[in-house]
Structure formats: structure tokens, C-alpha cells
Amino acid sequence: MFSKILVANRGEIAIRVMRACRELGISTVAVFSEADKHALHSKYADEAYLIGPAPASQSYLNIDAILEVVEKSGAEAVHPGYGFLSENPKFAKACEDHGITFIGPSSRAMAMIGSKIEARKVMDKAGVPVVPGSGGEVKGIDDVFRVAEDIGYPVVLKASAGGGGIGMKVVNKAEELEKVFESTKAVAASAFGDGTLFVEKYLPKPRHIEFQILADDGRVIHLNERECSIQRRHQKLIEETPSPIMTTGLRREMGLLAVRAAASIGYVNAGTVEFIYSDGNFYFLEINARLQVEHPITEITTGIDLVKEQLLIASGEGMSIDQEDVRIHGHAIECRVNAEDPLNDFTPSPGKITKYRSPGGPGIRIDSGVRMGYTISPYYDSMISKLVAWGRTRDEAIARMGRALSEYIITGVTTNIPFHKAVMRNPAFIKGDLSTSFIDDEGILDEIPKIIEEDEARAARLAEFFKEDRKVVAISAAVGAYMNYKKKSPGK
């Protein structure tokens, strides 16, 4: 096992990795930008190094600066977390070339699935079903029109190098196609440096279901599924496991195909095979070559520490479990608590957290990298924390999440907590009727003003209570001070 690891990330995921390292007796090295010099992850690590200015392009995406810290600190391996350089084959290759262990798949496997077009081809060849579409790059608008007419509207234009919902646009009719093609191509070129697009059939009201996989040099296993259908702008907000629609037979079928997909490219370490599910059929979507944001719900229902397994695999020891060791214990839900305004198209709300109290109690887990007084930077993702609720049943997990959300106090920035409260009390969500269009279909945003009003009324009552409580404390303190004075000065 390694003796020292550098974590090339920030915030809650950096702390999550460092926690696993601390339990295993591994020293950790943090890197931080000028905006993060007081961040928790830089204080939690055994060593911390400044790597550049606030913009990620000059710090967390600066491969040379990170490798320089690896050499300076004597770290033997690098854990990339998620986001930033986690799926960058150039970074993985640079680590390999410098004799540094990259805790993730090889640069070769990463490059193979980094292009969604190439990944589709590989999966098709391996017998993993893919969504009907262009099968390759669409060279121009005539090519797009031909494919769209062939597979039928609506269609979705996707950036081959894209991720996180960026460079992805749905087109409902031919009249919209040319304009959307040009704008999507421009977004892809700007965001990823690659304007390559392909076309897929857009499936109505699909569910987004993914399978967590682990692979070492000789084995590939899956650790069950996660349902990630509640999204805004194709980006996940709430995840749960097991999926409400999953059966033993469907899990076996999808799980075997997820394992086959990973094995077909010689994948090693932790990853996620994502599927789209519609009308009883499922299709390969992509492979995420990293640890996922939503990995805690898999950990809490299987009892398996995914980061520790990553470290075991990367060190050459191999994972500590086999497929038959994987069980499902209860139900877990994760809400991504972000500094963003759900009533303003989920616009980020950077700023200073003036009050912060996280929830607790039975079945609650919080992964966070913030504290009271912490400033949510406009330079990075607006995530505040990942709030996880576990229950013996799905109903119990929902009830615990609702309770935990009511306990969560964050002031100074606008958060999406009212959005999560609205979802937890929604009848369709409670029944498990989900799709990627859930937010619009259920009018979730229309329920938020009422919830904010309830929260403000509750806050006013609490403020009045604490005002009275402070009076009692002050009187008690005064009486105590007087009695102490009498003891010391009898007769006065």
C-alpha cells in the first residue's frame, strides 16, 4: 500500500479521499488555489501546497503545477477525485510517464471512452445496446438532417467530448435543427476544445440508471444500480439506490452488461456504466471513468468503502471483494445541496455562509467541505454538501431525508434546499414515478415559494424562541454571579 498520496482536487471529495487514507494510515497531500487557501481540504491534509491563482485553468487544471507538487512532496500516487482532471487522459498519461500511480483507469482506457462516439462503437461491438443514432460524427447539417429523418424526431445533438449535460441539446422538429446544430457545435468547441457532434434518438420520459463497477487486473464486478433521473439541464440533483423500478432479473441483466462494457475496454479501478431506460428497454449511455459524486449511497447500502477499494486496486493488491459479497441493505437517497437559486433557473449563488448547522440523527450522512464563515467561490462548482439519508425501506429513507432537510440551516447564500423539500413531499416521487423530465412534469418549481414561506415563518418562530432563551440565560448568569459574590463576600 502507498505511504503518501496527493489528492488533485478540492472541497468535499478531497476530504472524502483523505478520510479513507487516514483510516489506512496513508499520509495525504493537498493542493489549493489562492481562492482556497483557507479551505477545509487544505487544512485536513498532512501537507498542502499552493498551485496557482483562483481560476481552475491556472490551478486545479494545471498539470505541470500538480506534478511539481507530487515530486516536491514525495507522493507515490495521485487521486483525481471527480471533475477537473479526473477524466483527462493527458493527465493520466503524464502520471504514468513520471512513474506516478494514477488512481483510476489507464490513460488508454480513458481515451477510448473519452469520445462518446468511439465508446458507442466499442459497446455496439461488445453487444451492449446503444441508443439508435448516427453511429459516428455528423459532418454537417445535411448529415444531421439525414440521420434525424431516418430515426425520427425528437433527436438529441451531443458533443462527443462532452459531459455533465454540457454540449447536449434536444431538437423536436426539423425547423429547429440547423440553428441548434450550429449553437451546440460552438458550445462543444468552447467547453471541450472539440466541436465534434453526433445524433441520437431522444427517448420520451426516460429514466437515468447507472451501475457502479469495480475492476482489478483479473475481475470486474458491479455494486448494484443508482437511479439518477431527477436532473436539471441534464445534471443530476437527487440520486437513490435501489432504483424503484428494479427487479432481481433486470438488475442481473443490466449488471452483466455493465460488467461486459467495462471488460471490453480493459477497464481497471472504479467507474460507472450509465444507461438510459425507456418503455422497458435500456441502452448504453456512457462510462464515467472516475468515482461519482453519488458514490455514498452505494457505500451506505453495500457497506463497501469505494475509495479504499480504489486504493487497494491501484496499489496492486486487488479489490477485497467478489461479486457474491455484494448485498443490498436498505435504501439510500442523496440530495446535492448547492448554492444556487432554483427559482432563477438554478443560477449559482456564490457568497459567504453566515450561519451553518448540518443535520444529524439516525441514518444521516453528510459529505461536505464547508463551514460557517466559508465563502462559496464563483470560480468553482456551487456544491455545499451531499446529504444522504438511509432507511430500511424507501419510505423510511424519504421520511429521514425530509426530516434532515428541515434541520439543515444555511444562511448568507441562496440554496436549493426548498427544491429538495418539494421533491420529497411530491406524490409522484413518493410512488417512484420518475423520469429525466420530472421537474417540469411535476411542476416542482411552483411548489418552492410556499416552502420558502413556511421556512421563513419557522425561522421567525425560532428567532423569537432564542431571543427569549437568551434572556433566561442572561438572568441565570446574573443570578449565578450574584450568588458567587455573596459566597466570597459574606455580610455585604
* pLDDT single digits (tens) 425-481: 999 999 999 999 999 999 999 999 999 999 888 877 766 665 666 665 566 666 655
336 classed as catalytic: no
Same domain as 385, residue 242: yes
Q: Is residue 477 part of a domain?
A: no
Domain final residue, candidates 201, 225, 242: 201
Can you read off the three cell numbers belonging to residue 204? Answer: 420520451
Q: Is residue 352 part of a domain?
A: yes
Order of strands, sheet of 207-215, starting from the edge strand that comes earlier in the sequence: 281-288, 269-278, 207-215, 220-232, 235-241, 331-338, 383-391, 364-368
Q: Is residue 125 part of a domain?
A: no
Give the tens place of pLDDT for each residue, 136-167. 899 999 999 999 999 999 999 999 887 667 88
Same domain as 401, residue 319: yes
Same domain as 256, residue 195: no
**Range of 321's domain?**
207-450
The per-residue pLDDT of the chain, averaged, comes to: 93
Q: Is residue 487 part of a domain?
A: no
- Domain harbouring 143, CATH code: 3.30.1490.20
At a CB cut-off of 8 Å and minimum separation 6, what does 298 contact? Answer: 212, 223, 224, 226, 241, 304, 306
Same domain as 293, residue 403: yes
Give the tens place of pLDDT for each residue, 293-309. 999 999 999 999 999 99
Q: Ramachandran region of residue 318, left (φ > 0), alpha (ψ -120 to 50) or beta?
A: left
Q: Is residue 475 part of a domain?
A: no
At a CB cut-off of 8 Å and minimum separation 6, what does 471 contact? Answer: none
| 491 pLDDT above the threshold of 70 | no
Same domain as 305, residue 237: yes
| Amino acid 317: pLDDT | 96
Same domain as 96, residue 39: yes
The amino acid present at 325, given as its one-letter code, is: D
Phi, psi of 272, rounded to the nearest 5 degrees: -135, 130
Give the tens place of pLDDT for each residue, 99-112. 999 999 999 999 99
Same domain as 195, residue 57: no
| Amino acid 298: pLDDT | 98
Same domain as 239, residue 181: no
Same domain as 171, residue 88: no
The structure's pTM equals 0.89
- Domain harbouring 351, CATH code: 3.30.470.20
Segment holding 193, helix H or strand E: none
Q: Is residue 469 part of a domain?
A: no
- Check 251, 290, 336, 394 and give the catalytic one: 290
| 487 pLDDT above the threshold of 90 | no
| Amino acid 167: pLDDT | 83
Phi, psi of 432, rounded to the nearest 5 degrees: 85, 15
Same domain as 350, residue 212: yes
Identify the band that residue 323 occupies on the pLDDT scale cut at 50, 70 and 90.
very high
Q: Is residue 473 part of a domain?
A: no
Domain final residue, candidates 147, 179, 201: 201
Please state whether beta strands 235-241 and 207-215 pair in parallel, antiparallel, or not at all (unpaired).
Answer: unpaired
Q: Is residue 122 part of a domain?
A: no
Same domain as 182, residue 79: no
